[in-house]
Amino acid sequence: MSASTALIARYYDAFNRADWEAMLDCLTDDVAHDINQGHRETGRDTFRGFLERMNRSYSEQLRDIVLMASDDDSRVAAEYVVHGQYLADDEGLPPARGQRYVLPGGAFFSLRDGRIARVSNYYNLQDWIAQVTGG
């Protein structure tokens, strides 16, 4: 395993343990976070707020994680399957009633000085909405 894929594996291991501090430790202070079908947020403290919002509304585990690194080890791509439960209403989304979902997803990472400098997450929001609304 390369240094870059080991870093991302550590990041996802922390995610699956809900160890937000260990996740944050993998990030640069000025990390850029591209939210799925949304905007870019910048900074570790902003990312902490994102994790807090997510933790209120969702309980998730990532499974079947596959990591791929660029030849120069500066970028990593990840593919995974999210197994989750929608716990509390998230702004602009359907009401939460404890619905469970299984959703393929992916992410792209840029690395700098042994930390994550950018993370861009992707999943099919319409598929998720259909799963939580029974549509």
Helix residue spans in the chain (DSSP H) = 3-16, 20-25, 44-57, 125-133
Provide the pLDDT for residue 120: 97
Distances 108 to 16, 19, 73, 127 between C-alpha atoms, Å: 18, 21, 13, 20
Per residue in 22-49, pLDDT (tens digit) is 999 999 999 999 998 888 999 999 999 9
Per residue in 71-103, pLDDT (tens digit) is 999 999 999 999 999 999 999 999 999 999 999
Distance CA(57)–CA(2), nearest Å, equals: 34
- Domain encompassing residue 20: 3-133
Region of residue 43 (left: phi > 0; alpha: psi -120 to 50; beta: else)? left
Share of the chain above pLDDT 90, in %: 93
105 pLDDT above the threshold of 90: yes
For the domain that residue 99 is a member of, what is the CATH number?
3.10.450.50
Distance CA(26)–CA(76), nearest Å, equals: 14
Provide the pLDDT for residue 33: 97
Q: What is the total count of domains within the chain? A: 1
